[in-house]
Amino acid sequence: MSPVRSPARIRRAAPALDQRVAAAVVFAATMFISIMDVTIVNVALPSIARDFGASTGSIELVVIGYLVSLAVFIPASGWLGDRFGTKRVFLVALAAFTAASALCGAATSLDALVGFRMLQGVGGGILMPVGTAMLFRVFPPEQRVRAARVVIVPTVIAPAAGPVLGGILTDHLSWHWVFLVNLPVGLAVFVFGLVFLAEHREPGAAGRFDLVGFVLAAAGFALILYALSSGPGSGWASAKVGVAGSVGLAATVLMVIWERRRDRPLLALRLLGERLFRATNLTMLFATMAFLGTLYLIPLFLQDARGVNATTAGLALFPEALGVLAGSQLAGRGYPRIGPRRLMVFGLLLVAAMLASISRMDLATSIWLIRAMMFLVGTGMGFVFLSAQTAAFARISPVDTGQASTLFNMQRQLASALGVGLVTTALTLFAPAGAKTTAAAAGNAAAYHGAFLVAAALAVVAAGFALTVRDSDAANTMRPHTPDGLTAPRDDDLVDGGIPVAA
C-alpha cells in the first residue's frame, strides 16, 4: 500500500500550471459562489421564515448578519494577505466559507442560521480583496484587460444567476440547498488552489498589526452597512438605524485621523491620493450604486407590482449579465486604442438613458422589452467594469496591491448597500399618498418611476467622475504586450534611481 501523500508532495508531483491561469480559475469560481450567496439567499427568505415561524424583521438578520460580518473583516484582509501569504489566507478563508455554507444548510433554528451566516461573512470578507490582489499581482499592467475580463464574469453573472438558481432550488428542493450548492464548488477550488497556486508575501509592507485601526475600521464600516441595510425596512428615523449610523460615522472619522498619523496603517488611505485610483474608485462607487440598485428594483417590480413568480423575475433580470459579457468583450477590444475614459463615459451614459427609459414602464409593458433594456444596461456596465478595473491598479505598485484591493472592495460593498438603500427610500418618497410604507410602495407601479430616475441620476454622476480620468495615467495598461510578455519601461515606471517597478 502506498503511503498517504502530503500536500507538499502532491504539489511537487503536479504538472506546472501558469500562475495567471491558476489565479484566474480560483478567483472566478470562488467569487462566483461568494457573490451569488447574497442574491440566492434573498429568494429563499420567505421559505426560511415559514419554516422557522420568523417575522419579516427577524428574517432580515440572515442577510444583514452576513453583510455586517463581511464588513468587519474586509479592512484586515490586505494586512493578512501581506503578512501570512495570499495563498494561505485565501484558502483558509475559502475553507471557512465552505464549512459555514454546510452549517447554514443544516441549521435547525433561525439563531443558528444567523450565526453560521456571520461565519460565512468572515470567509467572504477576506476572499474578495485577497483574491483580487492575488489576481492582479500575476497579471502585468499590459495584460490587465485580460484580468479584468476574469473579474467581470463572476461579478456580473453571479448576482443575476442567484435569483434564478435560488428560485429553482427553493421551489423544487428546499431552502437548505441555496447554501449546500456552495459545497462542491468550494471543495473543488480548495483542492485546485492547494495544488497549483503559488504563495506570495509582503512581510515588509505588513508591519505590526494595527489593532486600534482594525477596531475603528471594522466598527465604522460594519455599523454604516448595518444602518444602510436596515434603514429602508425599519425607517431612517428609527433609533437603531440612527444610533448605528451615527456611531459608524464617528468611528470612521476617528479611523481616518488615526490611520493618517501612522507610518504603517492597517488601511493605506494615502493610496486614495493617487489620481487615477481615486477617480476610478469614485466612478465605480456611483456606477455600482446605480447598477445594484437596478438589480434590486427590477425583480421587486415584477413580483410585487406585476405578480410574477421568483423564477420569472430572475429570468427577466438575467439578460443584463449577457449584456455585461458582450459589453466587456467590445470594451476589451477597444481599450488599448480608446482608453478607459471615453469607454466609461459612453457606457454610463448608455446606462443612464436605459434607466430613464425603464422609469416609464408600467404594468402593461412587455417583459421582452424589459429584458431588452436590461441587456443594454448590462452592455453599458460592461464598458464601465472592464475599463475601471483594468485602469484602477495601473499606478499601484505590487507592494501596495493588497492594500489597494482592500480599499477597492470596501468601496464595492459600500456601493451595494448605498444603492439599495437609496432606491428603496426613493420608492417610498415617490409613492402616492397612502402608500408611504416600503411594503405598500413596492406594490405601486408609480413609485418605481422616481426610483429608476434616481438610479439614472447616479449613473450620470458616475459619468462625471469618469470624465476626470486621464488616459495617460493608465497608459501602461493600454500597451500591447509582446509574445514574451515584456514591454519597454516608461519614465514613470521607474523609481529609486531607475529600477523598474515590477507588475
Mean pLDDT computed over every residue of the chain:
78
By the 8 A CB rule, do 152 and 384 touch? no
| Sequence-separated (6 or more) residues with CB below 8 Å from residue 503 | 139, 140, 141, 142, 398, 476
How confident is residue 444, by pLDDT bands cut at 50, 70 and 90?
low
Please tell me the least confidently modeled range out of 29-43, 227-241, 260-274, 472-486: 472-486
Residues 135 and 27: beta-carbon distance below 8 Å: yes
367 is written with which cell numbers?
Answer: 417583459
Q: Report angle CA 252, 258, 264 to the nearest 5 degrees.
A: 120
User: What's the average model confidence in pLDDT over 157-162?
Assistant: 74
Cα atoms in the Cβ-side hemisphere of radius 13 Å centred on 401:
27
Check residue 462 and give its pLDDT: 95
Q: Residue 135: is its pLDDT beyond 50? A: yes
CB-CB neighbours of 42 under 10 Å: 17
Nearest alpha-carbon partner for 458 in 355, 325, 327: 355
Encode pLDDT of 179-219 as tens digits.
Answer: 888 899 889 989 988 888 777 766 555 567 788 888 888 88
**How many C-beta atoms lie closer than 10 Å to residue 329's C-beta?**
14
Contact status, residue 403 vs residue 86, Cβ threshold 8 Å = no
Round to whole Å and give the CA distance between 331 and 150: 14
In the predicted model, is pLDDT for residue 482 greater than 90? no
Give 235-277 pLDDT, tens digit per residue. Answer: 777 788 888 888 888 988 998 888 888 877 777 788 888 889 8
**In 173-301, alpha helices (H):** 177-180, 182-196, 203-206, 211-234, 239-260, 275-300
What is the spatial distance between Cα 227 and Cα 417, in angstroms, rounded to a whole number? 9
Alpha helices in 53-181 (DSSP H): 56-59, 61-84, 86-105, 110-138, 144-172, 177-180
Question: Exposed, middle or buried by CB within 10 Å (0-12, 13-18, 19+), for 2?
Answer: exposed
pLDDT of residue 270: 84
Task: Write out pLDDT tens, residues 41-51.
Answer: 777 777 787 78
Q: Tell me the C-alpha distance between 105 and 124, whole Å.
A: 17
For residue 463, the model assigns a pLDDT of: 94
pTM of the model: 0.76
Identify the pLDDT of residue 37. 77
What band does 445 get if pLDDT is binned at 50, 70 and 90?
low
What's phi and psi for 230, nearest 5 deg?
-90, -25
More confident residue, 197 or 470: 470
Instruction: Determine the pLDDT at residue 205.
Output: 59
CA–CA gap between residue 128 and residue 294 (Å, rounded): 23
Contact 51, 166 (CB under 8 A): no
| Closest C-alpha among 34, 126, 124 to residue 88 | 126
Q: How far apart are CA 376 and CA 381, in angstroms?
A: 9
Residues 399-429 pLDDT 10s: 777 778 788 878 887 887 788 778 888 877 7
CA angle 81, 127, 219 (to 5 degrees): 85
Question: Which residue blocks in 362-444 are alpha helix, DSSP H?
Answer: 367-392, 401-429, 438-442
pLDDT tier, 490 (very low <50, low <70, confident <90, very high otherwise): very low
Angstrom distance (rounded) from CA 229 to CA 67: 9
pLDDT of residue 107: 85
Q: Which of 84-88, 311-315, 352-356 has the highest mean pLDDT?
A: 352-356
Q: Residue 200 corresponds to which cell in the numbers above?
A: 506570495
Q: Is the pLDDT of residue 342 over 80?
A: yes
Least confident of 9-18, 100-109, 274-283: 9-18
Residue 263 has a pLDDT of 75
Residue 60 C-alpha cell reads as 432580515
Q: What is the mean pLDDT of residues 80-105?
A: 88
Q: What is the pLDDT of residue 500?
A: 32
- What is the pLDDT at residue 467? 94
Instruction: For residue 358, give the nearest of 370, 367, 372, 376 by alpha carbon.
Output: 370
Q: Is the pLDDT of residue 157 over 70?
A: yes
| Percent of all residues in the chain with a pLDDT value above 90, rounded to a whole number | 13
pLDDT for the residue numbered 11: 45
**Is 417 in contact with 225 (CB distance < 8 Å)?**
yes
